[in-house]
Structure 1
Amino acid sequence: MLLEPEGGSGGGKGQGFEVQKSGDARVCLIGYPSVGKSSFLSKVTKTKSEAAAYEFTTLTSVPGVLEYEGAEIQVVDLPGIIRGASEGRGRGRQVVATAKTADLIIIILDATKSHQQREHLERELEAIGIRLNKERPNMSIKIKKTGGIKLNCLTPPKYIDEKLVTSILKDYKVHNADVMVRDENITVDDLIDVINEQHVVYTPCLYVYNKVDSVSLEEVDRIAREPNTVVMSCELDLGIQDVVEEVWYRLDLLRLYTKRRGTAPDFREPMVVRHDSSIEDVCNSIHRDFKFQFKYALVWGSSSKFGNAPQKCGLNHKVHDQDVVSIFTK
């Protein structure tokens, strides 16, 4: 479903742009015009995003559904980014803002073009508050009413000190806070990200180079060895399944099989939940009020401490991939 943006005072509504989030996870395709995003979407989903060998074919967000390992993964083809996107050129601010909602970003690149395309796209996403393949800085800021600013740490940080932290926080109108730093490599940029954490997201990213059929084998080998990278050719149907498998691996989703009392587990259609999910999350996936009728659960699989025998557990039990779960209610 495409959601229409609100019309402003300058005119009527524009093209539908935002896409309602659905499925078990969302993947956003980012890239310059004509790199093969639409072709890739058409290959891995039943959606036919318009594709052509000229720029700006896709002018709005196009969603499709990738069905894999029992999961439904929403894949959103965003309009091609141009330089200056984070400043609003070419509707770029809307493009990268939509990318903030992704569980995984795929940056599709042209193997026949320079390495700068990757750096430029990273810079555009960085400017809008998307941190690719990075963890949230291991520090916290607790605002107080009095007492000034205090820096607490186990090991003195290499790149910041209490005077610098105080100065930066005061720039953000924070005059009283306890700052806890748990990583000696915290930088000024990390500190600013934590201050602005409501505007910053940390998203895994996969770099996919298309058109590898148009470069030498040596160049393909060099590109494929780059971190977080997969190569493909939509034109020749090469490497597309490798990309799909890597997407599944990066999303780190869990498949659970449900079991009713007195019956065998249903292995045909798994329930798909996020990594690090608990039995409570499983209940919420069924219905948000289901946990209030919860009595206990039986779990078979690698999360059970009894091996192949079931473990009786409560709402806080963490499930593992391919566990069998039976939930009992009051």
Structure 2
Amino acid sequence: MSSTLAKIVEIKAKMTWTQKNKATAHHLGLLKAHLAKLHRELITLKGGGGGGPGEGFDVAKTGDARTGFAGFPSVGKLTLLSNLAGVYSEVAACEFTTLTTVPGVIRHKDAKIQLLDLPGIIKGAKDGKGRGQVIAVALTCNLILIVLDVLKPLGRKKINENELEGFGVRLNSKPSNIGFKKKDKGGINLTAICLQNELDAETVKSILAEYKIHNANVTLRNDATADDLIDVVEGNSLYPLYLCVK
């Protein structure tokens, strides 16, 4: 884990130092792809027992939809869950009271909706601080509800959004219209249906090379970014609805 964190810090430093222009686009794309792979490592438990994303924090998925309550520690997520679903768990006047995901269920118009109180997010969770793995559980949700403390700075809302984005949770967004299909030979064939401001053949090849993909057909049907292509290749990003309560 420590080596992964060190690599993340190193790559982020390189991205900060690198000027953003057409000449460096392929280099930045490569760094973003490498960073995405490292973030994936953070949410995948290692060891002889195997494991998967968010193991130890996730609960069995039930019902017709799943809503995750995300936010900093001690902002009232568990209180909200208790009021909505009648769930009881220890609530104390200290941070990090909830150390595991607490589930609840409500019914609305014959639909069974599972509610999850996720352990508190802290700044830097996406880079391994605190319990960054719990954000992986958000990848299983259809709706993300960010809960804020009205007595704390509003800037915390942006921090929560950034931490979730770091794990591929694309709030209130739609997937980019990118066609991607691996093949056995023939190299990388890129087709752009419209003008591209960021992605070109060299950038696309650099990103795919990071995933050891050297033969594929890629079709860009809208003005896409390196992050958009990485999401398609990774295949585990989520585009949930997003609400915010205070």
Q: Please give the range of the TM-score, normalised by the shorter of the 2 chains.
A: 0.7 to 0.9
Measure the CA separation in 1 of the matches of 2:47 and 2:92: 30
Name the counterpart of 2:215.
176
TM-score (normalizing by structure 1): 0.55
2:243 partner letter: L
Cα distance change of structure 1 residues 159 and 89 upon mapping to structure 2, 3 Å threshold: closer
1:165 Cα deviation after fit: 1.5
1:102 Cα deviation after fit: 0.9
Name the counterpart of 1:273.
none
Cα distance change of structure 1 residues 152 and 16 upon mapping to structure 2, 3 Å threshold: closer
1:163 partner letter: E
Measure the CA separation in 2 of the matches of 1:179 and 1:16: 37
2:75 corresponds to which of 31, 35, 38: 35
1:140 Cα deviation after fit: 1.3
Higher strand share: 1
Cα distance change of structure 1 residues 90 and 158 upon mapping to structure 2, 3 Å threshold: closer
1:54 Cα deviation after fit: 2.3
Name the counterpart of 2:194.
155
**1:205 aligns to 2:245 (yes or no):** no
Q: Secondary structure at the match of 1:150?
A: strand
Cα contact 1:62–1:76 (8 A) shared by 2:
yes
1:7 Cα deviation after fit: 9.3
2:125 corresponds to which of 57, 64, 85: 85
Measure the CA separation in 1 of the matches of 2:245 and 2:110: 24
Which ranges of structure 2 fall in alignment gaps of 5 or more residues?
Answer: 1-44, 50-54
1:110 partner letter: D
Cα contact 1:45–1:67 (8 A) shared by 2:
no
Identity %: 48
Q: Secondary structure at the match of 1:90?
A: coil
CA RMSD, 1 decimal: 2.3
Measure the CA separation in 2 of the matches of 1:17 and 1:161: 40
TM-score (normalizing by structure 2): 0.73
1:88 Cα deviation after fit: 3.5
Q: Secondary structure at the match of 1:195?
A: helix
1:26 corresponds to which of 53, 61, 66: 66
Name the counterpart of 2:165.
126
Measure the CA separation in 1 of the matches of 2:184 and 2:48: 40
Q: Larger RCO: Structure 1 or Structure 2 (Cα < 8 Å, ≥ 6 residues apart)? A: 2
Name the counterpart of 2:112.
72
Cα contact 1:41–1:49 (8 A) shared by 2:
no
Measure the CA separation in 1 of the matches of 2:188 and 2:56: 46
Measure the CA separation in 2 of the matches of 1:83 and 1:158: 31
Cα distance change of structure 1 residues 59 and 170 upon mapping to structure 2, 3 Å threshold: closer
1:171 Cα deviation after fit: 2.8
Which ranges of structure 1 fall in alignment gaps of 5 or more residues?
Answer: 10-14, 210-330
**Counterparts of 1:197-236 in structure 2 under 5 Å?**
197=235, 199-209=236-246
